[in-house]
Structure 1
């Protein structure tokens, strides 16, 4: 019986902490750069042409990756050696998880040009979520 209570307490704590870890769609959308918004509202992207959308997503992925890398370096700079090692391990695991998550999202479509857009958009959103997570990281 004690084991059941222990599991319930851990589960409740995990669920209670989830809002801190998870980012809302609004938070992710708010993190897109104005350049991305302009790109998506103009030219081929505004017409839904795959190449135009992919160009906008690709450029935004580069910008957001730079934000992520900057945030990661700032956080790492404030940690002692053991905590740096922990965060480095977490970051490596997250990189694999992001790849796996986005491939799964793409695979659900079974191929085609839309799957490339889904993958790139997933990659972008997951990168933004990680940046937001790191900005609030408390070891």
Structure 2
């Protein structure tokens, strides 16, 4: 089951990520709202909080359905996913390399990966 999740997560990384509420990407939503870089960061941060809360709900619901050994495996996989997400996304926050726009790109990276992870866990939970 955990291998299936890992494969599904990799396949989903290529798909465009849409916000749950409106079928548009977070980038489209925040671009539509406009504003300077800091307003963009705030827009992404709000979406990040919402998507992180959704991931936590889905993760907890799935954990409640699993056997103890499966829970340990999922916990370990989730920890590995967090490390991978951070390794991919946190470098964007380096202003010397990416400037102010890096904060927007970093938020978008984290949101996109969080949505994909929550979707993958939700699919497993429906089985």
TM-score of the two chains, using structure 2 as the length reference: 0.76
Q: Which aligned pairs between 1:6-85 and structure 2 lie closer than 5 A?
A: 18=7, 20-21=8-9, 22-23=11-12, 24-26=14-16, 28-29=17-18, 31-34=19-22, 40-42=31-33, 46-47=34-35, 49-85=36-72
Give the root-mean-square deviation of aligned CA atoms. Answer: 2.8
Corresponding residue number in structure 1 for 2:109: 122
Count of residues in correspondence between the two structures: 116
Deviation for aligned residue 1:121:
0.7
TM-score of the two chains, using structure 1 as the length reference: 0.70
Structure 2: 5+ residue stretches without partners: none
Structure 1: 5+ residue stretches without partners: 1-13
Structure with the greater relative contact order (CA < 8 A, sep ≥ 6): 1 or 2? 2
2:78 counterpart of 1:91: yes
Runs of 4+ in 1 over 6 A off after TM superposition: none
Q: Could you say which structure has the larger radius of gyration?
A: 1
